[in-house]
């Protein structure tokens, strides 16, 4: 479940970067190429920054399914 949440966060970040880039390119057509270049760089950064949390979430889900997750009551 945690992996799904992290992947959804990455997807939302990609959609947000695409919408912001599209709005910026629409508002200033002379720099459309440069705006999309920066937008793509931001999308790559979103994916790269999401790799760590996805790996941690995968490990946590795997531990939970194996029953080795620490209990909250001590």
Identify whether 13 is part of a domain. yes
Supply the pLDDT for residue 67: 80
Euclidean distance between CA atoms 2 and 72, whole angstroms? 18
| pTM of the predicted protein model | 0.84
The count of domains in the chain is 1
Identify whether 25 is part of a domain. yes
Identify whether 69 is part of a domain. no
Identify whether 66 is part of a domain. no
pLDDT confidence band for 70 (50 / 70 / 90): low
Mean predicted confidence (pLDDT) in 37-43? 98
Identify whether 30 is part of a domain. yes
Of residues 44 and 72, more confidently modeled: 44
Mean predicted confidence (pLDDT) in 41-60? 96
Identify whether 73 is part of a domain. no
The CA-atom distances, in angstroms, between 67 and each of 1, 4, 13, 59 are 15, 20, 32, 12
Identify whether 72 is part of a domain. no
Q: Is the pLDDT assigned to residue 72 strictly greater than 80?
A: no
Domain that holds residue 42: 2-60
Supply the pLDDT for residue 69: 67
């Amino acid at each position: 479940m945690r992996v799904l949440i992290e992947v959804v966060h990455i997807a939302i970040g990609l959609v947000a970067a695409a919408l912001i880039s599209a709005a910026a390119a629409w508002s200033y057509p002379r720099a459309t190429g440069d705006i999309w270049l920066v937008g793509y760089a931001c999308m790559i950064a979103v994916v790269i920054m999401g790799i760590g949390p996805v790996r941690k979430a995968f490990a946590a889900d795997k531990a939970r399914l194996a029953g080795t997750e620490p209990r909250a009551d001590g």
